[in-house]
Structure 1
Amino acid sequence: MGVGLIWQNSVWIALQDNGIIARTEIYDRYDLIMINDKLVINLIPLDNDYSASELIDLQSVYQLKNVVLVQLWEDIWLTRQEQVIGRIKSILGLNKRLHGRKGLVTVIDQTEADDFLIANHIQASAKARYKFALQIDGQTVAVACFSNVRWMKGISASYKSVELIRFATRMGYTVTGGFTKLLKHFIKLIQPDDVMSYADRDWSLGNAYELSGFKLVETTPPAKIWLQKEEMIRYFPHRMPDLGQDKFAAVFNTGNLKYILYLNKV
């Protein structure tokens, strides 16, 4: 076994260039990279015959060993290499640390949020109603984006729910308390009854949410995604542009972990 395809070799080289010692690991028919017995990267080529359930089972095998496994698809690596390496460093605890309590929370617009998230989040940006930045010494070190208020009349006439759509820190930094500071600022401003968010199972076990008091309420099923091959852009089926089926390749994710932070009792 070995890392054989050109893009897979480039992952290996990028890790070495960033001083990350890694080794290949044989498991069934998967191309894996093991790092410090803490993290496994499953390298998934676009041309594969895996099922989502197989990838979830693989992740569970390593989770039982207290090892994080991430699912790295070929297109994600080819389009988001810098962000992937940044996320890997974060998982491994290789970031510099900043103290969020020293930061100033500011309101930002969609363009500012887009610029920061495209540079620092694996999934890039998304439209949001409320956007906040945490600044330390005049530099934005974290951004959190939230949806508009959703009135949950099935719970009560006045029940307000919001979604945390994106959170990211500047690559290379872990901002201790930064997430909590942005979240508390938003909660004080909007006063929702709960805050909901999703953790991408390809990359996360949801630990950060649980440490912040969120409760796991649902595991969503894997989703089919269409990859526009020429531009390497992913689309969910309902947002797929009409370019012709031959322009797309079918990929998928392993679903999401849905978390809710309950703030008020009904």
Structure 2
Amino acid sequence: MKKSALKPPNAFKEQVSNWFLSMGFECSETSVVAEIFPVLTINLQHRRQLSLILIDMNSWLKTKVSVDWPACIQYVREARENGLKIIVLWEDFWVNNQEIVQSRLVAVLGLAHKIPARLTKVRRIDKETANHFLSENHLNNVVSAKYKYGLFLPSSYFRVLSTALMPDPTSAELLVAVATFSFPRIFNKETNPLRSHELIRFASLRGTNVVGGLDKLLQAFIRDKEPGDIMTYADVEWSAGDSYAKLGFKTIAQTQPEAIYLDPETRLRKSRAELAAASSHNYVQIMNMGSIKFVKPVSIPGQTDSEHVQ
């Protein structure tokens, strides 16, 4: 997608609002977090469906990070404790990855096109295939992984796809979901060494929800590699990780907000380590909201759940 200059705060809010309005939703600004960031509430037939905290660079530069950002995090936590769906949406993600952001928002609203995972076939895929899929369908940067798995929908089931998702009719299959996993880390436990792997990335094809897809990919990995447990992280800005809990993951800890560096011209993000190698240092420090760490114990004879806690 062609990158354009950052928009004034109202332009960002208007773009997001107009997109929801085009799908028949009602939008209203219901509050302002820390007296800076607008909260956009998305309704359907006067019923709240979702709230978005919109973060643009101009507003961020006005914040007192040590005070205002914890207030935002607390606002998100309390909203979720009260059963509300709430997402923190940064302007740079909207500008640079608008189609992926829109796909995720559609999924959160339950409007994504559903593909039953039982119709798919699972197998290992190579680095090039995984990276290409993730770059097109995952919001965060592609990172190195040891094991890569994909779910493929055979052409005999293309009939379940919408017209917009239909691939070339000569295709034998369509890749609809990918999960990547790390090298094992070995932990010495009281009984046997425990092999722990990280679920690094998971993504479905844009505009889709592969129902049962993550579970199918996890089970394939477990059969192949027999891990003692699988750990992963949920981005607090997008969710509390409810989908992981449904798959047997247990909450272990919450990481602290992390500094990220954003080029105000290109809107490209870099970590602290990447910044050291960058030729330009005109980056603005922003903060994420941290992550929730989850661990899924995998049953091993003679091993108790307590041995999985890291």
TM-score normalized by the length of structure 2: 0.80
* Whole-angstrom CA distance in 2 between matches of 1:257 and 1:174: 22
**Is the contact between residue 201 and residue 256 of structure 1 (CA under 8 Å) also seen in structure 2?**
yes
Secondary structure of 2:278's match? Answer: coil
Task: Confirm or deny: 8 A CA contact 2:149 2:180 kept in the other structure.
Answer: yes
Q: How far apart are 1:134 and its partner, in Å?
A: 0.2
Q: Does 1:34 align with 2:41?
A: yes
CA RMSD of aligned residues (A): 1.8
After superposition, the C-alpha distances for 1:188-241 in whole angstroms (9 at most, x for unaligned) are 100010000000001111000000000000000000111133332212212222
Moved over 4 A (4+): 154-157
Deviation at 1:52, TM superposition (A): 2.9
The 2-side partners of 1:209 and 1:248 are apart by: 34
Match of 2:56 among 45, 63, 81: 45
Whether the 8 Å CA contact 1:77–1:84 is kept in 2: the answer is yes
Cross-structure match for 1:10: 15
> Is 1:173 the counterpart of 2:208 in the alignment?
yes
Tell me the percent identity: 30
Tell me the matched-pair count: 263
SS of alignment partner, residue 25 of structure 1:
strand
| Cα offsets for 1:234-259 (capped at 9, x unmatched) | 122122223243x2011110000000
Paired residues of 1:150 and 1:161 also in contact (CA < 8 A): yes
* Residues 159-184 of structure 1: per-residue CA shift (max 9 Å, x gap): 10000000011122111111111000
Instruction: Answer whether contact 2:180 2:200 (CA < 8 A) is retained.
Output: yes
1:67 aligns with one of 84, 88, 92: 84
SS state at 1:231 partner: coil
Q: Is contact 1:52-1:253 (8 Å) kept?
A: no
Any idea what the Cα deviations from partners look like across 1:64-108, whole Å, max 9, x if unmatched?
A: 331121111111111111111111110010012111011101221
Quote the Cα distance in structure 1 between the aligned partners of 2:9 and 2:226.
Answer: 52
Q: Secondary structure at the match of 2:57?
A: coil
Give the secondary-structure state (helix, strand or coil) at the position aligned to 1:188.
helix
Alignment of 1:1-266 (within 5 A): 5-28=10-33, 29=35, 30-36=37-43, 37-47=48-58, 48=60, 49=63, 50=65, 51-137=68-154, 138-153=173-188, 158-240=193-275, 241-245=277-281, 247-263=282-298, 264=300, 265=303, 266=307
Q: Distance in 1 between matches of 2:183 and 2:190?
A: 18
Give the Cα separation in 2 of the matches to 1:147 and 1:131. 9
Structure 2 gaps of 5+ residues are 1-7, 155-172
CA apart distance, 1:35 = 1.5
- Structure of larger gyration radius: 2
Query: 98-107 vs 211-220, which deviates more?
Result: 98-107
Partner of 2:3: none
* Structure-1 separation of matches of 2:190 and 2:284: 41
Q: d(CA) in 1 for partners of 2:280 and 2:183?
A: 34
Check the 8 A contact 2:54/2:90 in 1, yes or no.
yes
What are structure 1's unaligned runs of at least 5 residues? none
Aligned partner of 2:54: which letter? L
- The SS at the match of 1:66 is coil
